[in-house]
């Protein structure tokens, strides 16, 4: 289609012909550069009048060959001269900003400052939510019921299958592994205590929290983040609709309400899995298991588990909404904030779990 | 006649049973600057996307530079795509890259230009679209609407394309800038023999730039030819579009 770029040297004249365009030069770029290089310092006549096309990539190539200056003798059409003039007008050295080097200590410091800012921002968001709740008490007509129920459905009801599956498998695993140990001590019946306490009090809430943080938390951050990127959040504000009341509050209250219910459901299914494994492994009948469960597991444990669910749900959704609201309008920030939201949510949940463990250490442990 | 740059034959496009194009034909020769006109929702952008191979028509064939885009050879398709540049309606800049990197991206993808060469080319393109070199550091989110458009044009021009597709190139530019845009594209067209297909509603751009006009209405191209010929076509869309401004175009 296009004539390849040609270079012809004869008795002090360099004759260029053909299409000197990026596309035409690409197939043999190195060869062309090698051909041009020897002409660099020689005093020759550059004859470009036979050129049929010259684009800026080729102009840059020629200009570099000429050592950033017009050659003494040049024959060129005015149209092509214009193309090269554009290149000539560029400043030779355009200073690029030097790459910033960060000292490790500086890095740790900035990380801490960022964490501090995030904590502060979350407290501000929490305060805003309290104000919103107070506002809604005064104006009950503005309560976003529809968004609230939609969020319970999305982050609660739709999470039931996956939490059940994971809970069931974990129940089986713990029961099976404990049974192996207990059997060797002849303490088979303590399987009920182990399963009851560990699942209801600890594993159920934490397991569900991790799943929900990955599932609903990331979805919340991404949704609010995209709404920010596409300026939908701003559109809401201009219509006089509070973004916290309409977007953030329903998500947070929805998950806070839904989480204890998911925890209850997942713990129940996990106990079922444990019961099944205990029956297969230790010949412990279902009826014995169910009869001895209330004795082994004081009811306080159930409330601790549900309380944890409530707190974890609140933490996950608060963190997710906070990071969503702070997405900058670009794809990079969206992905990094979604990652931060999930990681922060899970870390905070584990931290809260430790706090729970310390403050409830005297409650609900059966005295033998 | 030489080989057409873009040839659409018997294009039908249907979205969920609704026909947008029905048996549409268009043949654009090298060196033409075609203004594609049509009411909103008439499928102009869809047609551009089909030319780019982003969307497959329900029926019919698209060929660019005589190469059928629906063929399967990935390398040949890449070679064809490198010969065209597209300016998207909303810029479609990579939001994670700075302005400089956005324009340098297609050049770096060639993997045979050195950084100095790329740097000069990028600054050249920036100068072409009247951006300052210092703007290279900015991120797309920090740009105004008109600047996004100009950077996107610079990126579309980065590979020195033979075919330039422009979707609403001058919307969002002030009249001065759009005049400069017209000068820039017509200058490039003269120097490089570019072929340009542009969707536009701006009569000034059309008057200043287009050599040919294609009118998309009733699901097909109802008129295609030199500007003044098309304007005298007796069709409600054409008379309505040019209306009182008919004289301005001539």
Contact present, B64 and B103 (Cβ < 8 Å)? no
Tell me the per-residue pLDDT of A40-62, one tens digit each, with 9 for 90 and over: 766 778 888 877 778 888 888 88
Nearest to B141 by CA among B85, B177, B91, B88: B91
B75 touches chain A (CB under 8 A): no
Helix (H) / strand (E) element for A255: namely helix A249-282
At residue A259, the pLDDT reads 95
Q: How far is CA A153 from the centre of its chain?
A: 23
Residues of B in contact with A19 (CB under 8 A): none
- Residue A293: partners with Cβ closer than 8 Å, 6 or more residues away: A192, A196, A271
Question: Which of helix, strand or coil describes residue A268?
Answer: helix
Higher pLDDT, B249 or B12: B12
Distance (Å) from the alpha carbon of A18 to chain B's nearest alpha carbon: 13
- CB-closest option in A30, A57, A80 to B121: A57
Contact A86 B127 (CB under 8 A): yes
Cβ distance B141 to A328 less than 8 Å, yes or no, reads: yes
Helix or strand (DSSP H, E) at A233: helix A232-238
Q: How confident is the model at residue A152 (pLDDT cuts 50, 70, 90)?
A: very high
> Which of B65, B139, B192 is nearest residue A330 as measured by Cβ atoms?
B139
Of A232, A367, A238, A252, which Cα lies nearest the Cα of A298? Answer: A367
A203-239 confidence digits (pLDDT tens):
999 999 999 999 999 999 999 999 988 888 888 888 8
Q: Higher confidence at residue A318 or residue B8?
A: A318
The verdict on a CB contact (< 8 Å) between A23 and B159 is yes
Kindly state the average pLDDT of the residues A236-248. Answer: 88
Instruction: Give Cα separations from A229 to A122, A246, B184 (angstroms).
Output: 21, 18, 32
Residues 79-98 of B with CB under 8 A from A: 82-83, 94-96
Residues of chain A in Cβ contact (below 8 Å) with chain B: 1, 21-23, 26, 29-30, 53-57, 60-61, 63-64, 79-80, 82-83, 86-87, 89-91, 94, 96-97, 328-332
Query: What's the Cα-to-Cα distance from A76 to each of A140, B23, B119, rounded to whole Å?
Result: 80, 47, 25
Is residue A360 classed as helix, strand or coil in its secondary structure? coil
What whole-number percentage of chain B has pLDDT above 70? 94
Taking residues B184-205, report their average pLDDT.
81
| Whole-angstrom distance, CA of residue B150 vs CA of residue B172 | 10
At residue A95, does pLDDT exceed 70? no
Question: For residue A53, which residues of chain B lie inside 8 Å, CB to CB?
Answer: 191-193
Closest CA to B121 of A64, A37, A77: A64
Of A23, A30, A332, Cβ closest to residue B96: A332
**pLDDT exceeds cutoff 60 at A71:** yes
Q: Which of B82, B117, B141 has its CB closest to that of A60?
A: B117
* d(C-alpha B95, C-alpha B83), whole Å: 24
Q: Which helix (H) or strand (E) holds B139?
A: none
How far does A19 lie from chain B, in Å, by closest CA?
Answer: 10
Q: What is the mean pLDDT of residues B32-45?
A: 84
The whole-number pLDDT of residue A134 equals: 93
Q: Which range has highest mean pLDDT (A245-254, A291-300, B125-134)?
A: A245-254
The complex's ipTM works out to 0.74
Q: What is the pLDDT of residue A93?
A: 63
Our CA-based measurement puts residue B95 at a distance from the nearest CA of chain A, in whole angstroms, of 5
DSSP string, A61-77: HHHHHTTSS--SEEE--
B1 has pLDDT over 50: no
Closest CA to B6 of B62, B79, B88, B85: B62
**Which of B121, B126, B183, B186 is the best residue to mutate to test the A interface, defined by the most A CB atoms within 10 Å of its own CB?**
B121
Cα–Cα distance for residue pair A19/A84, rounded to 1 Å? 15
- CB-based contact (8 Å) between B138 and chain A? no
Between CA A174 and CA A195 the distance in angstroms is 7
Identify the structural domains of chain A with CATH numbers, from first to last.
6-88 (3.30.750.24), 138-359 (no CATH)
Which residue intervals of A74-217 are DSSP H helices? 78-88, 104-138, 145-155, 160-185, 191-195, 204-212
> Strand pairing of A13-20 and B59-64?
unpaired
- Are A86 and B193 within 8 A, CB to CB? no
CB contact at 8 A, B213 and B227: yes
Q: What is the mean pLDDT of chain A?
A: 88
**DSSP-assigned states of every residue in B15-60:** ETTEEEEEEEEEEE-TT-EEEEEE-TTSSHHHHHHHHHTSS--SEE
Which residues of chain B have a CB within 8 Å of the CB of A97?
137
């Amino acid at each position: 289609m296009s004539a390849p770029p040609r270079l012809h040297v004869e008795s002090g004249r360099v004759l260029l012909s053909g299409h000197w365009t990026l596309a035409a030069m690409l197939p043999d770029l190195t060869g062309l550069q090698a051909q041009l290089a020897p002409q660099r310092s020689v005093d020759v006549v550059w004859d470009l009048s036979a050129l049929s096309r010259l684009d800026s990539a080729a102009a840059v190539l020629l200009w570099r060959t000429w050592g950033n200056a017009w050659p003494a003798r040049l024959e060129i059409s005015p149209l092509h001269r214009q193309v090269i003039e554009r290149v000539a007008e560029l400043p030779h050295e355009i200073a690029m900003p030097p790459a910033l080097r960060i000292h490790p200590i500086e890095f740790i410091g900035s990380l801490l400052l960022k964490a501090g800012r995030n904590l502060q921002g979350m407290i501000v968001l929490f305060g805003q939510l309290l104000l919103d709740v107070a506002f809604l008490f005064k104006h009950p007509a503005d309560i976003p019921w529809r968004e609230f129920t939609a969020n319970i459905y999305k982050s609660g009801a739709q999470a039931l299958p996956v939490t059940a599956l994971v809970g069931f498998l974990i129940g089986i695993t713990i029961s099976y592994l404990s049974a192996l140990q207990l059997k060797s001590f002849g303490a088979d019946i303590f399987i009920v205590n182990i399963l009851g306490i560990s699942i209801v009090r600890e594993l159920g809430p934490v397991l569900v929290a991790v799943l929900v943080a990955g599932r609903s938390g990331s979805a919340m951050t991404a949704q609010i983040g995209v709404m920010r990127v596409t300026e939908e959040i701003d559109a809401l504000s201009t219509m006089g609709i509070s973004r916290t009341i309409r977007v953030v509050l329903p998500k947070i209250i929805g998950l806070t309400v839904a989480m204890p219910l998911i925890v209850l459901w997942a713990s129940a299914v996990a106990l079922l899995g444990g019961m099944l494994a205990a029956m297969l492994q230790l010949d412990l009948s279902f009826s014995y298991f169910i009869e001895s469960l209330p004795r082994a597991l004081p009811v306080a444990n159930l409330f601790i588990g549900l309380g944890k669910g409530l707190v974890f749900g609140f933490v996950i959704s608060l963190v997710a909404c906070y990071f969503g609201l702070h997405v900058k309008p670009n794809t990079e920030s969206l992905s990094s904030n979604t990652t931060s939201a999930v990681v922060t949510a899970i870390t905070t949940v584990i931290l809260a779990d430790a706090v729970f463990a310390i403050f409830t250490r005297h409650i609900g442990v059966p005295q033998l | 006649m030489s080989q057409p740059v873009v040839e659409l034959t018997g294009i039908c496009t249907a979205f969920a049973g609704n026909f947008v194009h029905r048996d549409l034909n268009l043949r654009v020769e090298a060196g033409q600057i075609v203004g594609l006109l049509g009411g909103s929702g008439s499928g102009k952008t869809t047609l551009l996307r089909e030319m780019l191979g982003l969307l497959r028509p329900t029926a019919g064939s698209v060929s660019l530079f005589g190469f059928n885009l629906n063929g399967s050879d990935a390398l040949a398709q890449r070679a064809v795509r490198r010969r065209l540049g597209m300016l998207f309606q909303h810029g479609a800049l990579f939001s994670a890259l700075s302005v400089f990197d956005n324009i340098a991206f297609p050049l770096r993808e060639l993997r045979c230009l050195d950084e100095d060469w790329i740097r000069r080319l990028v600054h050249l393109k920036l100068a072409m679209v009247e951006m300052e070199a210092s703007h290279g550091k900015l991120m797309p989110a920090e740009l105004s609407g008109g600047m996004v458009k100009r950077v996107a044009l610079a990126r579309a021009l980065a590979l020195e394309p033979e075919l330039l597709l422009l979707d609403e190139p001058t919307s969002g530019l002030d009249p001065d800038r759009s005049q400069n845009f017209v000068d820039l594209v017509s200058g490039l067209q003269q120097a490089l023999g570019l072929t340009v297909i542009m969707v536009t509603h701006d009569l000034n751009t059309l008057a200043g730039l287009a050599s040919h006009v294609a009118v998309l209405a009733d699901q097909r191209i109802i008129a295609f030819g030199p500007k003044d010929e098309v304007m005298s076509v007796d069709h409600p869309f054409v008379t309505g579009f040019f209306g009182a401004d008919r004289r301005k175009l001539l």
